[in-house]
Each structure stands twice: as C-alpha cells, then as structure tokens.
Chain A
Amino acid sequence: MAEENHPKEIKVKVTFPASPKHPYEDEDSREKTVGTVLAAAMLHFEVHDDAQFSYVLSYEGERQDPATTIGSLAGHREEIKFTLIKVITSG
C-alpha cells in the first residue's frame, strides 16, 4: 500500500501573522488530527475562541475539519503548512 511508504512523522508548520511570535513548528505522527495541531498552535500563539471569533486551520485555502488527519492532507509530502485563521462570527 502506498500509505505504508510514507514517513511516520511529518513536519508541521503553522503561521499566524497577527502574532509577533515565530510560526508554530513540530514533528507529528501522520495520524495526528488537525484539531490536535490547532489546539497546540493556539496555545503557542496564546489565542482562544470567544463569542466573537473562533480559530481554524487553513490548508491550501480551505478551512479544515478538526477530525481530519494531517497525513491524509499531506499525502506523500514530509511537511505540511497551515495558516491559523481567526474566523469572525459576529457582525
């Protein structure tokens, strides 16, 4: 199966330009979910959901379901880059 040829670990990078902090970077299992990466990135950038906003990870312009595994998004790639997006729920 092609899936078995993928490296077990994948480099993850999350950028968030509204923060002065460096991007969140880690090496994670391909089975890790987007939701787990999102939680770690939000902790890194010191942001949290509230009544006005929620945060999502965007990959290639598409907001990602927290249940999706990062391996399924990355395919054969050894690195995956997300953008942390502040989604406005008010107004």
Chain B
Amino acid sequence: MTLDRESLLNLAADEVAVAEFVNDRGGHIIRDDRVAEDGDPAIYWLTLQPRTAPDQKYFSRYQWFTYPYEPASITIVDGVRGSSHVRTAWPIIPGYRPDSFDICRPFCREGYQLHAEWREGSTAWRTQGNPFLAVVQTMQDQFDNEYRGRVA
C-alpha cells in the first residue's frame, strides 16, 4: 500500500462521483486493487472516449500519493495495467506528449514538475471540492473538444 489511510478514505468518497461521470460518458474507472489481488489502491485506470469519436477508447493511469493534497501522476497507457510507452495509445491533444509519454498540463504531477511556476497562482493545485472529479472532467473536456485523432 502506498497511500495513507486518510488519502484512501478521501479517494473512496470522491471516486463515486468520478465513476458516475465517466460511466455517463461511455467511460470506465477501476481501482488497481479491484483488478488484481496484488493491486495498488493508489492507482486507478480510467477509460475515456472522445465525444466526436466514440469508437476510440483511451486508457489512463492515475497514481495518487496523498489525496487531495498532491496531484496524481497521470499517463496514457495501452490498456488496464498496460504500458505507458506506446505512442499509438496516445490521443492528439495539446499538452499530451507521446514522445515523452507525459501530459504537460497544470493538473498532474508531471505538469507541475515541468513548470514549477504552475505551483503558484491560478494554476496551483487545488485541494477543495472533489479534485479527482475536477481533473477527470478537465481531461474529458479536452477529449471532447480538443481531440484531433490518435497518434500514428
């Protein structure tokens, strides 16, 4: 287990709304320890589909470290428990970088590591409300409105 008990309880409370949101949009979410007995409860696997291309499924891996106090590490993978280093698993969306296998946006750990200035002001990580749902809604909005296809 990589998460403290408070984080686990907070995630358990917030994941309900996340599941409702993604299910309503043809997506899916599952916590890693529900995939396999040796699973990590800090990790979630999300399946999202773009509004304009519902036949296209994209998988992402969320790993939380302390919730809601720090952003999750988020990467695109080629399936549940899949690899994060498969270019064709990635969507073409601004800020999603299939060459470095990361997302350069102010809602994930990788984005804040790349841009230290994002840790202050309006781009800072917000712990209020349901940050898990806020991030998933942001990603779904990008898939719905900024998606330009799958990386070849």
Interface residues of A (CB under 8 A from B): 16-21, 50, 52-53, 58, 60-63, 83, 85-88, 90-91
Q: Please name 25 pairs of A and B residues whose Cβ atoms are closer than 8 Å in the assembled complex, sorted by A.
A: A16-B129, A17-B131, A17-B133, A17-B134, A17-B137, A18-B126, A18-B129, A19-B128, A19-B129, A21-B129, A52-B106, A58-B141, A60-B51, A61-B51, A61-B140, A61-B145, A62-B51, A63-B145, A86-B138, A88-B95, A88-B105, A90-B123, A91-B95, A91-B104, A91-B111
- Residue B25, interface by CB 8 Å: yes
Top-7 shortest CB links A-B: A18-B134, A17-B133, A61-B144, A61-B51, A17-B130, A20-B128, A17-B134
Give the distance to chain A from B143, nearest Cβ to Cβ, in Å: 9
User: How far does the alpha carbon of A87 sit from the alpha carbon of B140 in the complex, in Å?
Assistant: 12
Which of B95, B105, B144 has most chain A Cβ within 10 Å? B144
Given A17-B134, A18-B134, A61-B51, check contact A52 B122 (CB 8 Å).
Answer: yes
- Chain B residues whose C-beta falls within 8 Å of the C-beta of A86 in the assembled complex: 138
The total of chain B residues at the interface (CB under 8 A) is 26
Consensus secondary structure, chain A interface? loop
Which residue of B has the minimal Cβ distance to A50? B122
A1 to chain B minimum Cβ distance, whole angstroms, is: 30
Q: Closest A-chain residue to B114, C-beta based?
A: A91
Most buried by A among B122, B133, B138, B144: B122
